Structure 1
Amino acid sequence: MKSDVDLVTKLADLKTDLAQRYPVVPSGGATVDPETVAADLAAIERDGYVIWENLISDEECRKIRDAVIPLLGHTGRNGFEGHSTQRVYSVLNKTRVCDRLVDHPRVLAMLDHLFLPNYLLSQLQVININPGESSQLLHHDDGLYPVPRPRPPLGAATIWAIDAFTEDNGATVVVPGSHRWEEPKRKPGPNDRVESVVMPAGSCVFFVGTLWHGGGANHSACDRLAVTAQYCEAWLRPQEAFTLSVPRDVARAASPDIQRMLGYNVHPPFVGAVDGLHPLRLLEDDSVSD
């Protein structure tokens, strides 16, 4: 019988990538000032969300708007998607103008501290709330995973304001502190404080998956355009099957951080392997195509 020492050694070995060819590389979040990261984390711990104003320029917003508006089609299929809300799915395969939002260092810095390495991109959408849209049902994003609360968040999300978010045009609403609710089945009630995420174009709100929130009603005469990216722990199934929807030639052109978040990584010891090998080999071999 093998000794307990041998068993402990083998278990320790399983905590690293068995291929031993692709060492963990710090994400772009490592470039963010530690004091800034600490302040952001404190806001998230207190409120469940943090607002970053003016992270991208008016010119970047214009480029995103020009690229995604032609992609907008029919409105939602149900009340949750929004009968007066247009959405674009599989964004990475249709335009690359949103890449900078997905792997923005400020976002990655938060994900690096909240989740295990090799966290995944779960969803990327363009959301355009048209005039007359009603309020979305309040929800928390990681409620789709059947793990009872209270618990740490299993994911996080960003919503980028390509148009300014106002009280009247459908700004996202949040329930501050709801990420810390202890009652497993508690839902927002009339006595809970709800706030609108009012922010200028080019800004971003980051929130954890346990925070109750929803799209606001659009009482204005204008659309409200936004881009949202959701992320999840490495051991969970993402909402979008990116390894199926994003061709390898598109993935090859993405940043290393986005490649990792699409699933071209190994969550130790071997979750995500392809034919027993690291999936990045599929991107390195130009002869392999979809």
Structure 2
Amino acid sequence: MYTLPDRFEFMSDAWLDEARRWFEGRKPPAPFAVSERFADAPPHLQFPDDAASWTARFDGEAFSITRGFDGSADVTVEGDYQAALMSAQFVGVMAPGAWKAMQREVDNAFGKGTVRMKGRLQPEASELMMHFHDHMGRRTVENPDLEHRARRLGVAGKIREMEEQGYTVIERAISDEFADEVRTATLRALSSQGVTTLNWMTYHGREFELLLQNPQLMTLIDASLGRGAVIASISAIRRGPGPGFIPMHTDYAHVPEPYPEFSLTGVGVWALEDWTLESGPTWIVPGSHKHRRPPREGEGHNQGVPIVMPKGSVVYFHHGVWHWQGDRTAPGERVTIHAHFNRGILRSLEPKKIDVQMLHRNAPRLGEMLGEDDWFDKLSAHGRDYSRLAYMNKLHAFTEAKKREILGEPAAPKGQDLGALVS
């Protein structure tokens, strides 16, 4: 319902049609069946009892792809829809250790056992299903229902806090193991160039591609910046003991006062080790976004709070919030990744580099944050990309309606649907 022509919502009828196309003509050496059923699917998909299910069966001659769950299949998978979607969007499951890492992060986000698999396939059938998983992962979009997604991910309250305070913290948004992997990859990139800060981290390893797609952080970004938000810069900072070197500021470069009532930018700062008062954390002035201007000289420091959080957590702030880097008194180094996003109508700080291999090894979510899904920069001699314009208008409207639902606000007055005019 909310996709471009070559993309699909997980377990939708269009998703099943793509599965039929993929399996057509394939003949593994022996019959097998796989069946899945996931509860609490988004209501707009209109599944009976909001349960999404399907079965893939090879009878020795041909595949059949049907709606419905078969508990007698060789492999069955059951659990929560949003958790299963997180798995379904992971591409590259045949890489060494990838399947285990995927399960680890799903368990970290939703709890162990939220997605349960029973049974086992023969090697040939297992390899075929993993190829199918990756094929669909490249085409499976995020759940467009912001309210449903935020609730299932446990961040609906974080969205409300973000609107009121200008920031919020998601504790342990990634596992300790993944945080260690990202930290190692960050230090490798910084050390290879002999620097303490570095931009364009998106292109410095698979770890950063996966980190950027964290569904909890991206849900906050969708709520604050709308769908189609683009990477402004992904930067790394490595710092040892000493005073903070980033003074109080906002992230609104060249934005005149008063700042707009809606957010233009947002930043997620990842803690790759525990943040304590001694470690030199970011300090934020809660509610400072409501001033709609930058701080004056000497203003705000006595109102700031240090962001203390465990390893693997992320603090997200937006909307011109006042913040600065604290002093570090602890030994060792603080290593952070700063994921800075802009509303889709703005230019980025970093020039975008569209790597087709990167797009191929990730879900559509990464392409969206690189600007691939909207109509900006798509103008040709024949005019605008009206299909993307209509798609993004529809997605924006749905997201805004669901954000109002989260915040308990009345529905917006109905206006003219530009998407309908150009579709």
TM-score, normalised by the number of residues in structure 2? 0.53
1:39: Cα distance to partner?
0.9
Match of 1:236 in 2: 346
- Counterpart contact for 2:282–2:306, Cα < 8 Å: yes
Match of 1:68 in 2: 186
Match of 1:56 in 2: 174
1:58: Cα distance to partner?
1.2
Q: Does 1:251 align with 2:364?
A: no
Q: Does 1:222 align with 2:327?
A: no
CA distance in 2: counterparts of 1:36 and 1:254, whole angstroms: 24
Q: Does 1:149 align with 2:258?
A: yes
CA distance in 1: counterparts of 2:161 and 2:318, whole angstroms: 11
Write the deviation string for residues 161-216 of structure 1: whole angstroms up to 9, x where unpaired.
0011111121111111101115x454361574011101110111011141011221
Matching residue's letter, 1:27: E
Match of 2:164 in 1: 46
1:34: Cα distance to partner?
6.1
Q: Does the C-alpha gap of structure 1 residues 212 and 237 become closer, same or farther in structure 2, counting only changes over 3 Å?
A: same
Q: Does the C-alpha gap of structure 1 residues 147 and 27 become closer, same or farther in structure 2, counting only changes over 3 Å?
A: farther
CA distance in 1: counterparts of 2:276 and 2:180, whole angstroms: 18
- Counterpart contact for 2:250–2:294, Cα < 8 Å: no
Match of 1:116 in 2: 226
Residue identity (%) = 22
- Counterpart contact for 2:294–2:320, Cα < 8 Å: no
Match of 1:5 in 2: none
Matching residue's letter, 1:96: R
**Which residue of the other structure, out of 378, 381, 398, is the alignment partner of 1:273?**
378
User: What are the within-5 Å matches in structure 2 for residues 163-202 of structure 1?
Assistant: 163-182=273-292, 184=293, 186-187=295-296, 189=299, 192-202=302-312
User: Whose radius of gyration is greater, 1 or 2?
Assistant: 2
Write the deviation string for residues 226-269 of structure 1: whole angstroms up to 9, x where unpaired.
111011111100111123xx5332233232111111111224xx
Higher helix share: 2
Matching residue's letter, 1:273: K
Q: How large is the RMSD of aligned CA atoms in angstroms?
A: 3.0
1:116: Cα distance to partner?
3.3
**Which ranges of structure 1 fall in alignment gaps of 5 or more residues?**
1-15, 77-85, 279-290
Matching residue's letter, 2:257: P
Q: Does the C-alpha gap of structure 1 residues 119 and 139 become closer, same or farther in structure 2, counting only changes over 3 Å?
A: same
Match of 1:8 in 2: none
**Which ranges of structure 2 fall in alignment gaps of 5 or more residues?**
10-140, 386-423
**Which residue of the other structure, out of 67, 86, 89, is the alignment partner of 2:199?**
89
TM-score, normalised by the number of residues in structure 1? 0.75
Q: Does the C-alpha gap of structure 1 residues 227 and 212 become closer, same or farther in structure 2, counting only changes over 3 Å?
A: same
Larger relative contact order (Cα-Cα within 8 Å, sequence gap ≥ 6): 1
- Counterpart contact for 2:142–2:365, Cα < 8 Å: yes
